[in-house]
Homo-oligomer: A and B are copies of this chain.
Amino acid sequence: MADDIKILAFDVFGTVVDWHRSIMDEVRSMHLDVDADQFALAWRAGYMPAMQKVMSGELGWTLIDDLHRMILDDLLVRFGVTQLSEEQKRHLNKAWHRLGAWPDTVAGLRRLKQRYTICTLSNGNIGLLTNMAKQAGLPWDCVLSAEVFQKYKPDPATYLGVAKIFDVEPGQVMLVAAHQDDLAHARACGLKTAYIERPLEYGASQVKDVSPHPDNTFHARDLEQLAGLLRC
């Protein structure tokens, strides 16, 4: 099974980096008078509906950086934060460029990279993903993004786009993600799938169900364990 696979495409937010802790840390470091856990969760929760607006055509093609900012502007009102300058808002919005890796991520990616081409497949924009990689030391062979395809996941154009870019069959690409719905959409396009447990993706207040799904090609605790399963 693993021998057919040539390309590992990684979901990023939650799978590779710990957005919840990183956003909480940023909020705290700016001394905002809000519940950092709730603020982080609300920011992330705004992401799906914002992306839906793009997918439905209500909004034209919009980068995640700009969607994050629209959500942030709403949140600051809702959480009663009024003291931030424009520069501080821009800085806070770029917190998503500075997300920290899970402890196993860098070592796991380094091992996987020896045998496979490893790339991102994220709705994050290319600039965001590149800045994040540089800061967190993520050794991608290539940064692929919804921005390249001008379609957001779960549009099939994104999953199939990876195969097309590397001139391989869909079954030679494996999506690695901590989200069963993302993996199900990839599978429907003929990709292999690897589920990564990230029980604390939403923080300790909302521990995630990480039960295996039988349709995934692999199920791993983390990226180091995935590297082991793939004999890297």
Contact = CB atoms under 8 A, between A and B. Distances in A.
A167 B65 contact: yes
B127 A165 contact: yes
Closest 6 CB pairs of A and B: A130-B142, A127-B166, A142-B143, A127-B165, A126-B165, A130-B141
Nearest to A134: B141
A12 to B, nearest CB: 14
11 contacts: A65-B167, A126-B144, A126-B165, A127-B166, A129-B142, A130-B141, A130-B142, A131-B166, A133-B142, A142-B143, A147-B165
Contact of A130 (B65, B125, B166): B166
A127 B65 contact: no
What class of interface size applies to chain A in its complex with B? 20 to 34
A119 interface: yes
A165 B125 contact: yes
A117 interface: yes
Contacts of A166: 127, 130-131
Main secondary structure of the interface of A (DSSP, over half): helix
Interface of A: 65, 117, 119, 125-127, 129-131, 133-134, 141-144, 147-148, 165-167
A131 B143 CA distance: 13
Contact of A142 (B126, B165, B167): B126
A167 B134 contact: no
Contacts of A129: 142
A143 B141 CA distance: 8
A74 to B, nearest CB: 21
Nearest to A65: B167
A130 B126 contact: no
